[in-house]
Amino acid sequence: MWNICLPDQMFVFSQEDIPHILKTVILGMQPIRSKLQKPVPANIIFLSARFAHYYSSSELLESLLFAVVAAIDQSIKVCKLTISVFQEFNFSNIKLLIFFFIRHDQKI
């Protein structure tokens, strides 16, 4: 089922949308202890990466992934007082994102 990219298996965006997406799911999302909210950043990044890979360009995919790393770095630096909470939140999302890539789409 994941060997092709169906419309419900991607998040469509443009280069101009990247800052807003990352501001919303990484910089603007407050980590809370909820199983429902926890994987939102990983899901959005994974589905965005699928769109960039299958329907756009490698340049858009590269821009997205570099921007994700920069946004995570920025979120950790901004919130030094609660760094352990943000680290836990970001690490759990990174772990889930890697799991998505390994399990669902190794082509990216």
The per-residue pLDDT for range 16-69, each reduced to its tens digit, is: 999 999 999 888 877 666 666 667 888 899 899 999 999 999 999 999 999 999
- The percent of residues in the chain predicted with pLDDT above 90, rounded, is 37
pLDDT reported for residue 40: 83
Are 53 and 104 in contact by the 8 Å Cβ rule? The answer is: no
Half-sphere exposure of residue 100: CA atoms within 13 angstroms, side-chain side: 21
| Residue extents of the structural domains in the chain | 40-108
End-to-end CA distance of the chain: 16
d(CA 66, CA 57): 14
